[in-house]
Amino acid sequence: MYSGLAFHIAPRALNLARDFSPPYLFADSVRHVIDGHVAGDRYYEIATTGAAVKLNESALEQRMRQLFALDLNPLIAMTRQLDSEFSLFRAWNTYQAHVALAVRTVIHGSSNESFSVDRWQVAYASDPPAARNAGLCAIDILGAAARSNRERGHVAEDQGRSRLSRIAAELGLQHTAVYEASLCFEENPGLNVAGLCRMQGGHRRTLERYFKNCGLTIGNLKMASALVGATNDIWSASSLTEIAFAHGFSDQAHMSRAFRHACGLSPSVLRGLAMSRRASQQ
């Protein structure tokens, strides 16, 4: 068994056996808001399958872009709002330093015109080409987002787009219970399961059975919604304690534990990275 972790987007993109139905994709997105990692040995297994090895770079990039668009994990949601390569590379390297990864990819440089990448295996001897290509593709996608943000004068004003209900709608799930529940949790962060059932006019067991058939639990959706909302507020002037209570966490420590489980970084570290934008220096 190989030790270490891998961020979930690359393993998902390389796993051609996965289900791509809208309910599965939504459930997948919710789960990966809460926990953005897979075991390194699973990543290695996926990256060395015949299907992954044969996946060409163009198809891999397309799959990675699709998954990034559906990804609201705190780390990705924050980095997607940055508007300089300096800030992006700093965030990337901070993540690499904080998480026990099976493969580390460190970026040297401060702009798209002058940077290099060092990648080395912590947990196994070989670095599968498919895994390496996926890692480099992730850097390219996030770098392109930073450049786009800078070119259009982005100042982190559209975090409202980072909502689970938006993901559900984009997947065509507007008229389903998971979409309605997403809206309920977004508009009422302190809502519990009993309150959700009252708002949706259904019995708890019926609702839980429906969520189970979708590959989710109500608790998963509630926690994911809380993390997404708190990540949006990382950019605000509110204190972390205020953010925690505003999104239904019992206290700041509870929120910090949820963030670290989700992406390996605390809200305070993410806030520091979010405020490091230095587009004016590029």
Quote the CA–CA distance of 9 and 89 in Å, as a whole number.
18
> Residue 226's closest CA among 261, 274, 176?
261
pLDDT reading at 279 higher than 70: no
What is the tens place of the pLDDT at every residue in 32-76? 999 999 999 999 999 999 889 999 999 999 999 999 999 999 999
> Residue 243's closest CA among 232, 230, 231, 260?
230
pLDDT reading at 160 higher than 50: no
Number of H helices and E strands in the chain, helices first, is 16, 4
Compare 193 and 170 and report the one with higher pLDDT: 170
Fold of 159-274: Arc Repressor Mutant, subunit A (1.10.10)
For the ranges 66-70, 83-87, 122-126, 225-229, which has the lowest average pLDDT? 122-126
Quote the CA–CA distance of 74 and 7 in Å, as a whole number.
12
pTM above 0.75, yes or no: yes
Q: What is the pLDDT of residue 12?
A: 92
- Position 161 confidence tier, pLDDT thresholds 50, 70, 90: low
Average pLDDT over residues 223-227: 97
Measure the CA dihedral 75/158/173/188, to 10°.
90
Q: What is the pLDDT of residue 158?
A: 53
pLDDT reading at 159 higher than 90: no
Quote the CA–CA distance of 42 and 59 in Å, as a whole number.
21
What is the tens place of the pLDDT at every residue in 70-114? 999 999 999 998 989 999 999 999 999 999 999 999 999 877 777
Q: Where are the chain's structural domains?
A: 5-151, 159-274
Average pLDDT over residues 150-177: 80
Token pair belonging to 199: 């708002």
Q: Please give the mean pLDDT across all residues of the chain.
A: 89
